Amino acid sequence: MIAELGHFALTLAVAVALVQMLAPLAAGQLAGLSSLQRDQLMALAVPAAIVKAALILLAFLALMYAYVVSDFSVENVYANSHSAKPLIYRISGVWGNHEGSMLLWVLMVASFGAAVATFGGHLPHSLRANVLAVQSSIALAFLLFILLTSNPFLRIIDAPIEGRGLNPILQDPALAIHPPFLYAGYVGLSVSFSFAVAALIEGRIDAAWARWVRPWTLAAWMMLTLGIALGSFWAYYELGWGGWWFWDPVENASLMPWLASTALIHSAVVMEKREALKVWTILLAILAFSLSLMGTFLVRSGVLTSVHAFAVDPARGTFVLLILAIFCGGALTLFALRMSTLKAGGLFAPISREGALVLNNVLLTVACGTVLIGTLYPLGLEAVTGGKISVGPPYFNATFGPLMLALLVALPFGPFLAWKRGDVYAAMQRLVWAAAIAFAGIVVTMAIGGRGPWLAPLGIGLGLWVIAGALSEIAHRGRLGSVPLATALQRIAGLPRSVWGSSFAHAGAGIMTIGIVSMTAYQSEQVIVMREGQTTQIGGYSLTFKGAAPRRGPNYREEVGVLEVSRGGRAIVELNPAKRLYDAPRQTTSEAGIHASWRGDLYTVLGDAQAGGGYVVRLYFNPLVRLIWIGTLVMFFAGLLSLSDRRLRIGAPQRARVRSGPLPAE
């Protein structure tokens, strides 16, 4: 009954989505309407957006209920759940499969639509209505996709007693929350897309538009950042060989929208401040969401052979491809038609803040294009010539790497260049301290790193350069050094939050760089057979193997190794790397035993028992690896900081609304 309720709510949502989509368009297109009628038609989109979100939420909760009570008469629950699973994984199982994850996706689209409806009171009425209409068309497309090809509410006539279970590697706290964040990011970009298309429909694109769209892009970017970081962290500790990024097509599918949205945040700044880069910003907003859609297509259609592609069904792939073609193609056509009406904005010299932001956009976009080429090339080549090639990490390191290096080298200069016309030498002078810190870092790394590749110290220096450059901006804005310290601190405390936000985000990129470089260049590894009582050394730790024993978990049994870790003769911790065998489906996973410290991670993996006694044990020391995720967390909070800036806070300024209809008499 509950499942049918969900199914019904979802179907009803289609009708509401139609209303939300058509009412504002009709208001704009139909002749012979009075302005009051137009206003009322447009206003209809607001309650429709909220009702639609509520209906989809109801459907989502209905499916979740079926999972929680293990209602195996629902096919989706039977195929992906198991009654012995802990509650959190029964809940996360809802989006751990194709149908459920698409329902989560459409719930996100609708929620963002409802958010625009609720918090968009300060927007011009027609713009908000058009944004909601476009947003609703996206929701509608995916609602139809779910109902026609991927219905999660289908019943089985003879309900099985037990479900088939969730893929064990997905039974993990980080992966339970990874998809919601990632989807929130993907789908958040749909708001930027809707704003762009609505602006093109209205034909009015100005600095105010950029200010309205920025918080939404920022929010999407933050979610995407956190979602990708969670996925990467999960891969690091769960897949059992200590990697954190594999250039897997599915990872690339999330990286591309991230790169595009990062570029979009920056180009929107130029548009907001200087009315320049309008054409480009609109195009970027369209492309960013198109890349999200493409990511969805790649993952959902199963065209890529990869662990994530659990839906292999050509009907679905074709449907998503159709959605992609309609939205991407439609928006680009509209863009081409209206492009000539966009007036060029403020002029600027190549060396200027605008110029720096253009460089940022060039590098990010080309990097994004590179990932796109690398990801799609094998598919394209196979389709055209039938030839099979592999494009793996070495390709991306060779192409994507240099672009990121150039970006990081140039990054600290940007904030020190003035708008319109900047002065590189003045910027250099202000970055002297940052350069000194980077240089010191290089020397120190050379001294203690020793055996690593010669490029590694430069990489560490680069990370420090970016961090110190970001902090220099704060110091410079506070006039630290040229006014009394107390005044400077006061000035610094009074800086707008968006300044703090951008500085922290840049520092986060620097922190991440240091983590990546030290992990890549200075990781140490040992693969040995250890017998009980045997001791080995790695990363300054001494590890003693105390054997392995079987143990029973809630829905798995495991073999747990015992490694006693000491450092300088002092016992520190006991690590328990394990091999798990899940009951349903019968599948094994490896659970690494990790000891984190500020120096880095001691990462241990238990291998097989050997015929002659003892176990294969894999030991890693990953120096400073946590900085990779700490850096992304810093970026996330930087986004939060920037979002809380008074100037961007939704609804704070511009309370006065322009109404075209008659005002009620006071």
Residues of this chain that bind other proteins (CB under 8 A): 240-241, 243, 246-249, 305-307, 347-348, 350, 358, 362, 365-366, 369-370, 373-374, 377, 381, 385, 387-395, 398-399, 403, 527-529, 550, 557, 559, 579, 581, 586, 588-590, 605, 607-609, 616, 618
User: Would you say 86 or 453 has its CB closer to other proteins?
Assistant: 453
Question: Beta 587-591 vs 570-575: how paired, if at all?
Answer: unpaired
Sequence-separated (6 or more) residues with CB below 8 Å from residue 18 = 136, 140
Q: How far is the CB of 636 from other proteins (least distance, A)?
A: 27
User: Would you say 440 or 527 has its CB closer to other proteins?
Assistant: 527
User: Would you say 33 or 528 has its CB closer to other proteins?
Assistant: 528
Q: How far is the CB of 370 from other proteins (least distance, A)?
A: 4
Q: How far is 13 from 5, CA to CA, in rounded Å?
A: 12
Q: How far is the CB of 34 from other proteins (least distance, A)?
A: 45
Sequence-separated (6 or more) residues with CB below 8 Å from residue 632 = 225, 226, 228, 229, 508, 512
Q: How far is the CB of 252 from other proteins (least distance, A)?
A: 10
Among 478, 496, 466, which residue's Cα sits nearest to residue 643?
496
Sequence-separated (6 or more) residues with CB below 8 Å from residue 345 = 271, 274, 275, 276, 277, 278
Q: How far is the CB of 257 from other proteins (least distance, A)?
A: 18
CB 237 within 8 A of CB 592: yes
Beta bridge mates, 401: none
Q: How far is the CB of 558 from other proteins (least distance, A)?
A: 9
Q: How far is the CB of 247 from other proteins (least distance, A)?
A: 8
What's the token pair of residue 116?
A: 């625009």
CB 465 within 8 A of CB 533: no
User: Would you say 142 or 244 has its CB closer to other proteins?
Assistant: 244
User: Would you say 226 or 592 has its CB closer to other proteins?
Assistant: 592
Quote the Cα angle for 296-257-652, to 5°: 115
User: Would you say 391 or 466 has its CB closer to other proteins?
Assistant: 391
Q: How far is the CB of 347 from other proteins (least distance, A)?
A: 5
Q: How far is the CB of 307 from other proteins (least distance, A)?
A: 6
User: Would you say 184 or 286 has its CB closer to other proteins?
Assistant: 286
Among 636, 618, 634, which residue's Cα sits nearest to residue 243?
618
**Largest Cα–Cα separation, the chain:** 93
Half-sphere exposure of 368 (CA within 13 A, CB side): 24
**CB neighbours of residue 484 within 10 Å:** 9
What's the token pair of residue 55?
A: 């209906």
Quote the Cα angle for 229-139-78, to 5°: 70
What's the token pair of residue 532?
A: 């009980």
Task: Identify the residue whose tokens are 């208001």.
Answer: 27
Three-state SS at 644: coil
DSSP characters for 123-175?
A: S-HHHHHHHHHHHHHHHHHHHHHHHHH--TT-B-SS--SS-----GGG-SHHH
C-alpha distances in Å from residue 634, one per residue of 222, 232, 510, 601: 10, 16, 10, 20
Q: How far is the CB of 537 from other proteins (least distance, A)?
A: 16
User: Would you say 211 or 580 has its CB closer to other proteins?
Assistant: 580
User: Would you say 557 or 659 has its CB closer to other proteins?
Assistant: 557
User: Would you say 369 or 553 has its CB closer to other proteins?
Assistant: 369
Residue type, 44: L
Q: How far is the CB of 298 from other proteins (least distance, A)?
A: 13
Q: How far is 110 from 9, CA to CA, in rounded Å?
A: 13
User: Would you say 381 or 444 has its CB closer to other proteins?
Assistant: 381
User: Would you say 25 or 303 has its CB closer to other proteins?
Assistant: 303
Q: How far is the CB of 348 from other proteins (least distance, A)?
A: 8
Q: How far is the CB of 391 from other proteins (least distance, A)?
A: 6
Task: Identify the residue whose tokens are 């802990």.
Answer: 86
User: Would you say 203 or 402 has its CB closer to other proteins?
Assistant: 402
Q: How far is 47 from 536, CA to CA, in rounded Å?
A: 66
Q: How far is 42 from 130, CA to CA, in rounded Å?
A: 8
User: Would you say 432 or 527 has its CB closer to other proteins?
Assistant: 527
Q: How far is the CB of 309 from other proteins (least distance, A)?
A: 9
Q: How far is the CB of 480 from other proteins (least distance, A)?
A: 35
Q: How far is 154 from 150, CA to CA, in rounded Å?
A: 9
HEC profile of 281-347: HHHHHHHHHHHHHHHHHHHHHCCCCCCCCCCCCHHHHHHHHHHHHHHHHHHHHHHHHHHHHCCCCCC
Q: How far is 329 from 292, CA to CA, in rounded Å?
A: 14
CB 509 within 8 A of CB 608: no
Q: How far is the CB of 82 from other proteins (least distance, A)?
A: 17
User: Would you say 153 or 348 has its CB closer to other proteins?
Assistant: 348
User: Would you say 172 or 559 has its CB closer to other proteins?
Assistant: 559
Task: Identify the residue whose tokens are 């910003």.
Answer: 281
